[in-house]
Amino acid sequence: MSYRKSVNETMTAISTAAADAQAKIEKARRFKEGNRKNLRDRIVGTEGFRQNNDAYDRQISDAKAAFRETAQRAMDEYAKQRSASFVPRPRDVSPETMQFLSLIDLTQAEAAQLVREAKQKDGNYTLARMIYANANRQGIDMHDDAAGYIAKCEGAISSLTETCSSMLDDESGAYAKAFGQVVASAAKDVSEASDAYMGSAGVTSEGLPIEG
């Protein structure tokens, strides 16, 4: 699984769990409002009102707890996938290419173009690393922006999770109305970060998958 896919799956799991919890919470809140009306109309007594109210509060609490548990499981799975993403995946490089790289001094523009092609077209991590090393030996600074890519993705996940939690606590409905936009914005942030990384000349030594 690519790193980008693991990020998207994490956000999908979190947003889906939040939407499910929100539906249950809104239902319980409607019942609570009905319970208050029944008390005012003397359809239910004080004790019955309290019992009903406690039951609805438990439903709300349970829905929030279920969201937190699902979000934590999603983050745990993300952590596993991220660790797996940082395992280098060696690929074959032809003897001719290896000889070429050992004999030729590449310019920064040439090295950057070859790295991008290895990442985007071939998905060949080994070749990308060899080109990267060739440039570094010449003193060419090939900026590795993988850390920035990961930080942006994890920032999107964190922001989405916090917004989901706020939505479940919000009784005004403002967060719920903007929820779709929030999810779309998080997905856009990840997509832009991934595209920027794939279009860069950076190749992290830890083995972040070239497919992004």
Return the pLDDT at 88. 63
Return the pLDDT at 203. 64
Which pTM was predicted? Answer: 0.80
pLDDT, tens only, 159-181: 999 999 999 999 999 999 999 99
Structure-token pair, residue 185: 């914005």
3-state helix, strand and coil shares in percent for the chain, rounded to the nearest 5: 75, 0, 25
Asked if residues 63 and 21 have their Cβ atoms less than 8 Å apart, the reply is yes
**Alpha helices (H) along 86-207:** 95-103, 108-117, 125-137, 146-169, 174-198
Asked if residues 18 and 179 have their Cβ atoms less than 8 Å apart, the reply is yes
Return the pLDDT at 127. 84
> What percent of the chain stands above pLDDT 90?
54
Residues in the chain: 212
Return the pLDDT at 204. 58
pLDDT by 10-residue block (mean), the chain, 212 residues: 90 98 98 94 93 97 98 97 74 84 85 82 78 82 75 95 98 95 96 83 59 52
